Amino acid sequence: MQREVIGIDFGTTNSGAAFIEFDEPAVIENSEGERVTPSVVYFKEDGKVVVGSVAKRNIIANPERTVKSIKRFMGTEHQVQIGNESYPPEYIGAHIIKKLVQDAEKRVGTSFTDAIITVPAYFMDPQRQAVKDAGEIAGLNVLGILNEPTAAALAFGFEEEEERRILVYDFGGGTFDVSVLTIGGGFFDVDATSGDNHLGGDDIDARIEDFMLNKIKEKHKIDLEKKREENRALLQSLREEAERVKIELSSKERATVNLPFVGKGKRGAPVAFSYDLSRREFAELIADFVERTRKPMEQALDDAALQPGDIDDVILVGGTTYIPAVKEFVRDFFGKEPEHKVNPIEVVALGAAVATLKEGVKEKETPGKIRRPVEISDVISRSLGVLTYEGTVPKIITRNTKIPITQTKLYTNAVDYADEGVVAVYQGESVYPEEEGFLGEFLFEIEPKPAGESRIDITFGVGEEFGILHVTAHDHDSGNERRVKMEAVGRLTKQKKNKWMKKMLRMHAIKVRVVNVETEDILSYYLNPNARIEDLRKDLMRKGILSEGMGIFYKDNELDDERQVKDAGIKDGSELELRQRE
What does the binding site for ligand ATP look like in residue numbers (CB under 6 A)? Answer: 11-14, 71, 172-175, 200-202, 243, 246-247, 250, 318-320, 322-323, 345
Q: Identify whether 535 is a catalytic site residue.
A: no
Closer residue to ligand ATP, CB minimum distance, 157 or 172: 172
Minimum CB–partner distance for residue 303 and ligand ATP (Å): 22
**CB-based closest residue to ligand ATP:** 201
Instruction: Scan residues 158-187 and list those touching Mg ion (CB under 5 A).
Output: 172
Closer residue to ligand ATP, CB minimum distance, 164 or 244: 244
Name the binder of 362 from ligand ATP, Mg ion, none, CB < 5-8 A by kind. Answer: none
Name the binder of 516 from Mg ion, ligand ATP, none, CB < 5-8 A by kind. Answer: none
- The DSSP code for 267 is G
Phi and psi, residue 361, nearest 5°: -85, -50
Closer residue to ligand ATP, CB minimum distance, 175 or 454: 175
Name the binder of 93 from Mg ion, ligand ATP, none, CB < 5-8 A by kind. Answer: none
Name the binder of 440 from ligand ATP, Mg ion, none, CB < 5-8 A by kind. Answer: none
Nearest alpha carbon to residue 27 among 374, 353, 373: 353
Show the DSSP H helices in 267-366 as ranges: 279-285, 287-291, 294-303, 324-334, 347-355
Residues in Cβ contact with 344 at an 8 Å cutoff, skipping those fewer than 6 apart: 316, 317, 318, 319, 321, 322
In angstroms and rounded to an integer, the radius of gyration of the C-alpha atoms of the chain is 26
Contact 357, 364 (CB under 8 A): no
Minimum CB–partner distance for residue 175 and Mg ion (Å): 7
Minimum CB–partner distance for residue 250 and Mg ion (Å): 17
Q: Measure the CA–CA gap between 84 and 86, rounded to whole angstroms.
A: 7
Residue type for position 150: T
Residue type for position 510: I
Minimum CB–partner distance for residue 71 and Mg ion (Å): 9
Q: Identify whether 9 is a catalytic site residue.
A: yes
Name the binder of 231 from ligand ATP, Mg ion, none, CB < 5-8 A by kind. Answer: none
Closer residue to ligand ATP, CB minimum distance, 194 or 564: 194
**CB-based closest residue to Mg ion:** 172
Tell me the pairing of strands 510-516 and 575-580: parallel
Name the binder of 323 from Mg ion, ligand ATP, none, CB < 5-8 A by kind. Answer: ligand ATP
What is the residue-wise DSSP string for 83-129?
TTEEE-HHHHHHHHHHHHHHHHHHHHSS---EEEEEE-TT--HHHHH
SS3 of residue 359 by DSSP: coil
Contact 175, 195 (CB under 8 A): yes
Residues in Cβ contact with 297 at an 8 Å cutoff, skipping those fewer than 6 apart: 167, 169, 178, 194, 333
Contact 117, 146 (CB under 8 A): yes
Phi and psi, residue 160, nearest 5°: -70, 130
Q: To the nearest 10°, the Cα dihedral for 282, 285, 289, 293?
A: 60
Among candidate residues 114, 133, 148, 191, the one labeled active-site is 148
Among candidate residues 9, 191, 241, 436, the one labeled active-site is 9
Minimum CB–partner distance for residue 306 and Mg ion (Å): 24
Name the binder of 515 from Mg ion, ligand ATP, none, CB < 5-8 A by kind. Answer: none
The per-residue b/e assignment along 5-17, b for 16 or more CB within 10 angstroms, e otherwise, is bbbbbbbbbbbbb
Closer residue to Mg ion, CB minimum distance, 75 or 172: 172
Contact 9, 349 (CB under 8 A): yes
Contact 55, 30 (CB under 8 A): no
Measured between its terminal Cα atoms, the distance across the chain in Å is 28
Minimum CB–partner distance for residue 580 and ligand ATP (Å): 47
Q: Measure the CA–CA gap between 105 and 100, rounded to whole angstroms.
A: 9
Closer residue to ligand ATP, CB minimum distance, 89 or 385: 89
Closer residue to ligand ATP, CB minimum distance, 8 or 222: 8
Residues in Cβ contact with 120 at an 8 Å cutoff, skipping those fewer than 6 apart: 147, 148, 170, 172, 175, 177, 195, 197
Among candidate residues 170, 202, 378, 465, the one labeled active-site is 170
Minimum CB–partner distance for residue 28 and ligand ATP (Å): 16
Q: Identify whether 148 is a catalytic site residue.
A: yes
Q: Give the x-and-dash track for 2-21 against Mg ion (CB under 5 A).
A: ---------x----------
Q: Identify whether 125 is a catalytic site residue.
A: no
Residue type for position 242: A
Minimum CB–partner distance for residue 524 and ligand ATP (Å): 35
Closer residue to ligand ATP, CB minimum distance, 248 or 447: 248
Minimum CB–partner distance for residue 357 and ligand ATP (Å): 22
Q: Phi/psi class of residue 199: alpha, beta or left (left: φ > 0; alpha: ψ in -120 to 50)?
A: beta
Among candidate residues 71, 132, 246, 358, the one labeled active-site is 71
Q: Should residue 200 be labelled a site residue for Mg ion when binding is judged by CB under 5 A? A: no
Closer residue to Mg ion, CB minimum distance, 176 or 460: 176
List residues with catalytic annotation.
9, 71, 148, 170
| Binding positions for Mg ion, rule: CB under 5 A | 11, 172
